[in-house]
Amino acid sequence: MINIKNVSAGYFKNEQILKNIFLNIERKDFLGIIGKNGAGKSTLLKVLCNLIKPSCGTVCINNNNVIFFSQKKIAKIISFLPQDVDVMLPFNALEFIMFGRYPYMNIFKMPSRNDYIVVKKVMDFLDITSFAKKKIDSLSGGEKQKVLIAQALAQETEIIVFDELTLHLDIGSQNNVLRILKKLNERYNKTIILTLHDLNAASEFCNKLALMDNGKIYSYGTPDKVLNYRDIGQIYNTIVAVKTNPISNKPYIIPISDECIKV
Amino acid sequence: MRVNKKLLFIYLSIIMFFVVFLFSLICGSSGIYDIFKNIDANMVFIILQVRLPRTIMACITGAALAVSGCVFQAILKNPLADPFTLGISSGAALGVVIAFVFGFASLTSFFIPVFAFLGAMISVLIVYIISIYKKFNSNSMILSGVVVSYIFSSLIMLMFALSPSKNIQASFVWLVGNFNMFNEKVLSFAVIVVLVGIVFLSLSGNIINVMSLGIEKAKTIGVDVERNVKFLFILASFITSVTVSVGGVIGFVGLMVPHIMRKILGANNIILVPMSGLFGAIFLLFCDILSRVLFNSILIPVGVLTNIIGGVFFSILLFKSRENAL
């Protein structure tokens, strides 16, 4: 479905944050992109959404190169939630979610009846109808994240991309948000791509992982394959043990302190 | 505020606009006319030839400043942005000071708005060129506006320092903004430009909404951010420049009115932009009436009143605001 071929990219001329990346993402994948800070995870997502043009190589979706897509066309294929979304103005949740319908609106950009139906459906799905009229800045971190997801869902795209969606969330809210994404992936056949710092959450929820290092894909595959103590130890420059979660049978990672190593 | 209360507020504002408009026609330094009694030719002349143009001028200036303030605050993502953040006022001021100091203004008063407009457009052009290089990043745009303002203000001071001309007093009166000396020849032009501009900016409400989310998010929702920022920036700057050229620099309307409207009506720019325009017109009309009747037979520059009333009102708003932000 998504075919990234030999892509190099950066924010400035002659800058290479991504270095010759090859990656194939299948339909209905739940792909977690992991790696250290500055490894190029967010840059990869931006190239995918055509926010940054690659200096070489191609990104194709269904065999069409994304650089030839108009901004509007790409907004109907991929919805993207960046790390920081400015909500400077005091919009309420409903108004904010309605922005997701923008690519479908007429020339005056007024929401139609159908737009309201889609937004209502999305809000019911995420169980956020009760705070439709609440101002975004009065919501808790978890609630706000749900509203942001709702906006992305209102775009009705096949692929949804999240950058550090679960950052700043407590473990309960994080699990909640990831469960929603899993449901979208399994029940509504959405292709989900997200960057994550919590390796254990990545292991539990993603069916594919891409471990990035210094602008390259270091390893790619199922969590069992990618999350091994050698690779994780080397990339994150630390010592870890990898065990199997007795309930889900997925790998989980335990950091090991220096004292344990001495013993 | 619930939706029906918002609607009520909108209806009340429209009624208030007509009331203030009517008052503006009948109030003046020569007293308040009773229009339902003794109508004489002298009164009709004053109302139609003096007060009507002045009232229309106040309406379109207030509306243009408030609408462009609303648009600038949203696209620059800065609550302190106003029509003058990008150096428009200092550009216009420099143009006018040049017109006065070098004696163009004494040739024909028509040169005052022309020079003001040219000055404003030069500062807009400088900010625009810098913004193209900086890909319309909001912080760079504001900073370049501030830099242009400082340079132009210094040039004005330089001219004041070097010029012995008595015309400095006249240009000073213009700088604080007043409707006593605007040129009526350019009024119809200004009315058409401002009305067309306000209609286009009001229709762009949802685009402005989406752009306030930040460049990245707006792009992924399908907005061509650069093209729209260019369009909105040029249009808002243009109507500001036109009104500043005709009515002088009038502060606080563009900053304050959108804030008050946002408190009452919420952040949705589809409603906020046209309502800011309406309320801006009401506010400036109100200030203009005060400027005429406050001190019997002395006309105070309206810019002074908007700054005082706006400043006090804004401070109260700041104190009452529960959040840290406005």
Q: Is A188 exposed, middle or buried (0-12, 13-18, 19+ CB in 10 A)?
A: exposed
Instruction: Give the best-scoring range by mean pLDDT among A49-63, B291-305, B308-322.
Output: A49-63
Given the DSSP bridges, would you call strands A30-35 and A191-195 parallel, antiparallel or unpaired?
A: parallel
Tell me, yes or no, whether A131 lies in a domain. yes
- The number of distinct structural domains making up chain A is 1
Reply yes or no on whether the pLDDT at A54 is more than 50. yes
Q: Mean pLDDT across the stretch A14-30?
A: 88
Task: Quote the pLDDT of residue B326.
Answer: 46
Please calculate the CA angle B152-B154-B156 and round it to the nearest 5 degrees. 70
CATH classification at residue A161: 3.40.50.300
How many distinct helices (H) and strands (E) make up chain B?
Answer: 15, 0
Longest CA–CA separation in chain A, Å: 70
Say yes or no for a CB contact (<8 Å) between B222 and A71: yes
Which of A239-253, B33-47, B62-76 is the least confident region? B33-47
Closest-CA distance, A87 to chain B, in angstroms, reads 6
A160: domain range? 2-223
Q: How far apart are CA B59 and CA B302, in angstroms?
A: 13
Contacts of B323 in chain A (CB under 8 A): 137
Please calculate the CA angle B267-B257-B75 and round it to the nearest 5 degrees. 50
CB A217 within 8 A of CB A164: no
Reported as a pLDDT band with limits 50, 70 and 90, residue B181 is: low
Q: How far apart are CA A51 and CA A49, in angstroms?
A: 6
Chain Cα centroid distance, residue B145:
17
Q: What is the complex's ipTM, to 2 decimals?
A: 0.83
Tell me, yes or no, whether A127 lies in a domain. yes
The structure tokens listed for B144 are: 């370049």
B3-320: CATH, from 3.30.200.20, 3.40.50.300, 1.10.3470.10, 3.40.720.10: 1.10.3470.10
Task: Quote the pLDDT of residue B324.
Answer: 46
Reply yes or no on whether the pLDDT at B105 is more than 80. no
Reply yes or no on whether the pLDDT at B43 is more than 80. no
Task: Quote the pLDDT of residue B299.
Answer: 73
pTM attached to this predicted model: 0.82
CB A129 within 8 A of CB A116: no
Average pLDDT, chain B: 83
Tell me, yes or no, whether A143 lies in a domain. yes
Average pLDDT, chain A: 88
Q: Mean pLDDT across the stretch B106-124?
A: 84
| Residue in chain B lying closest to A79 (CA) | B220
Q: Is B130 exposed, middle or buried (0-12, 13-18, 19+ CB in 10 A)?
A: middle
A109 contacts chain B (CB < 8 A) = yes
Reply yes or no on whether the pLDDT at B180 is more than 70. no
The residue extents of the domains of chain B are 3-320
Helical residues (DSSP H) of A49-170, grouped into ranges:
71-75, 93-98, 113-126, 141-154
Contacts of B4 in chain A (CB under 8 A): none
Of B304, B301, B262, B300, the C-alpha closest to B279 is B262
How long a stretch of residues is chain A?
263
The structure tokens listed for A115 are: 């737009």
CB-based contacts of A72: which residues, under 8 Å, 6+ apart?
Answer: A103, B222
Q: Mean pLDDT across the stretch A88-113?
A: 84
Q: Kindly report the number of other CB atoms within 10 A of residue B26's CB atom.
A: 16
Contacts of A88 in chain B (CB under 8 A): 77, 79, 212
Task: Quote the pLDDT of residue B2.
Answer: 54
Q: How far apart are CA B309 and CA B291, in angstroms?
A: 12
Say yes or no for a CB contact (<8 Å) between B203 and A100: no
Tell me, yes or no, whether A36 lies in a domain. yes
Chain Cα centroid distance, residue B195:
13
**What percent of chain A stands above pLDDT 70?**
98
Contacts of A109 in chain B (CB under 8 A): 204-207
Tell me, yes or no, whether A228 lies in a domain. no
Say yes or no for a CB contact (<8 Å) between B206 and A86: no
From residue B156, alpha-carbon distances to A261, B90, B95, B145, B249 in Å are: 72, 9, 9, 16, 14
Say yes or no for a CB contact (<8 Å) between A74 and B323: no
CB A142 within 8 A of CB A149: no
Contacts of A81 in chain B (CB under 8 A): 217
The structure tokens listed for B116 are: 């003001």
Which of A43-57, B28-42, B149-163 is the least confident region? B28-42
Amino acid letter, A99: F
The DSSP code for A234 is H
Which of A12-16, A33-37, A116-120, A219-223 is the least confident region? A12-16
